[in-house]
């Protein structure tokens, strides 16, 4: 059967939100999933968990096979802290939320995410998140690779300075001591690797809406996304 441009009624609606680190896509994705009561895929957290699991298992930082094996069998659970309502990430049953969010895990994630075999090991797991009533998927290749048929694709970006400032604020809030200058360098290094790797590099899908949030508040970005979904008939 020839592929149809129309969304079949049985298809799960998906919003793919991609962009570089600190662009605010995580905040927007979470908020959108909550507003719509849809599922949320934080794909970056999966790569962070692979890096963390590798460090815990004592794997060398260049051990592609070891990390690939871990990615295949990763026991990851995402939920909410019953007391605070904040996010809760478990690795093989152990809470690792704080470690996953450290910039060190972000750097480790960017490294293992450049390996094709690690990416391949996580494809089916990510696609399994596409369930009714809908999915908001946050990452680097949601619109280009994992959900290339998604009816709404957003590429969220912001200037490098603004992104470093946002990440710094976020980490400081979590009592990290990362200096803004060091963080800027790390983010630049991470973006460079994510955008220039051979497999699934960070870039907007040809049919993505690019939103530059440098001069926008989170509320303004959110409203634009709501408006785009409405214009696509994804929600009322």
> Which residue ranges make up the site for ligand DC (CB under 6 A)?
21, 43-45, 47-48, 106, 109-110, 113, 139-141, 190, 194
**CA distances in angstroms from 67 to 53, 73, 109, 130, listed in the order given:** 8, 10, 11, 25
Nearer to ligand DC, 88 or 235 (CB): 88
Peptide bond preceding 133: is omega within 30 degrees of 0, i.e. cis?
yes
Smallest gap from Cβ 151 to ligand DC, in A, equals 19
Nearer to ligand DC, 43 or 68 (CB): 43
Closest to 77 (Cα-Cα) out of 99, 55, 92: 92
Residues 76 and 90 sit within 8 Å (Cβ to Cβ):
yes
Smallest gap from Cβ 1 to ligand DC, in A, equals 30
State the DSSP string of 22-37.
TSSHHHHHHHHHHHHT
Residues 6+ apart with CB under 8 A from 36: 133, 134, 136, 235
Smallest gap from Cβ 141 to ligand DC, in A, equals 5
Nearer to ligand DC, 106 or 151 (CB): 106
Smallest gap from Cβ 178 to ligand DC, in A, equals 14
Nearer to ligand DC, 120 or 227 (CB): 120
Which residue, judged by CB position, is nearest to ligand DC in the bound state? 44
């Amino acid at each position: 059967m020839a592929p149809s441009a129309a969304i079949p009624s049985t298809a799960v609606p998906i919003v793919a939100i991609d962009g570089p680190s600190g662009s605010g896509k995580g905040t927007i994705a979470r908020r959108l999933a909550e507003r719509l009561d849809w599922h949320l895929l934080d794909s970056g957290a999966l790569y962070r968990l692979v890096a963390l699991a590798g460090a815990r298992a004592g794997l060398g930082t260049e051990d592609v096979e070891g990390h690939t094996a871990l990615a295949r069998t990763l026991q990851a659970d995402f939920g909410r802290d019953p007391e605070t309502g904040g996010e809760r990430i478990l690795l093989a049953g152990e809470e690792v939320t704080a470690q996953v969010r450290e910039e060190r895990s972000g750097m480790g994630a960017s490294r293992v995410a450049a390996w094709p075999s690690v990416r391949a090991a996580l494809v089916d797991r990510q696609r399994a998140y596409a369930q009714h009533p809908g999915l908001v998927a946050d990452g680097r290749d949601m619109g280009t690779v994992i959900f290339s048929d998604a009816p709404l694709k957003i590429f969220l970006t912001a200037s490098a300075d603004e992104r470093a400032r946002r990440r710094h604020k976020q980490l400081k809030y979590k009592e990290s001591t990362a200096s803004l200058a060091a963080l800027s360098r790390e983010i630049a290094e991470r973006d460079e690797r994510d955008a220039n790797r051979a497999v699934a590099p960070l870039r907007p899908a040809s049919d993505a809406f690019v939103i530059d949030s440098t001069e926008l508040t989170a509320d303004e970005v959110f409203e634009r996304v709501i408006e785009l979904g409405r214009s696509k008939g994804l929600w009322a």
